Amino acid sequence: MKVIALFLLFASLNASFAVTDTNILAMGEWSQPVADYSGSKIRGRLLICQSIKHRGSSGIDIAVYLELQEHSDSYGRPVQVFCDFRKGLHCELSDSSGNVAKSEFSLKFNGPAPGPFTCILQSDSSVRLRVSPIVGCREPNGDWDLLGPPFQSWYLDRNNTNAFYLSGTFKVNPTNSVVHGSSPDVWEGTLILPKMKVLIKQP
């Protein structure tokens, strides 16, 4: 009994660490589902998450993520999505008046956005993908250094109490290696990612 109790305690501690290690600072609404030639649909949304001392970071890592979800009208084959964030994903940050914030190159860049890769979405499943280069961060004074692909950067003052809005488009073009009718389905299309409210000074 003691062994079982210790095991359950250890498991619960691990679970709580997993929950607190990554915090969601902002989460956007889902985009409209977009169907490909075969009727397979996916939708997407933007998120901003922070991780404390994550993968060698010396401070608080802040990054933009793209979440994709298989959203077809019926259960079917898996959907293959070719992700090239350097060419296919563009984000825009604006204020509450609609003014677009200027993106500037950041000295914090440690390489560009993740390179091209392919992910497969099972029917009725989702995947969360990091699109920010390593490492964006919360500065020691509380300011944000928010990075987007391929070399977008917004430095946000911690004292700014106004809301910003991050939006984007994610476009997937067919590749030369794609054979339509293959399994899994190879998705192509454009997702219009809704504006996500971003508050630098957390309540």
Q: Are strands 185-186 and 79-83 parallel, antiparallel or unpaired?
A: parallel
Query: Are the C-beta atoms of residues 68 and 28 closer than 8 Å to each other?
Result: no
* Dist CA 110 CA 133 (whole Å): 7
**Domain boundaries, given as residue ranges, for the chain:** 22-199
* Dist CA 70 CA 41 (whole Å): 6
Q: What tokens appear for 187 in the block?
A: 């998705």
Helix (H, G, I), strand (E, B) or coil at 54: helix
* Dist CA 41 CA 33 (whole Å): 6
pLDDT in tens, the chain (203 residues): 444 443 333 333 333 333 344 589 899 999 999 998 878 899 999 999 887 765 545 567 788 999 999 998 877 788 899 999 988 999 999 988 888 888 776 555 555 667 788 999 998 899 999 988 776 677 777 778 788 877 788 888 887 778 889 999 999 986 644 444 556 688 999 999 999 998 876 65
* Dist CA 117 CA 103 (whole Å): 25
- Radius of gyration, CA atoms only, the chain: 19
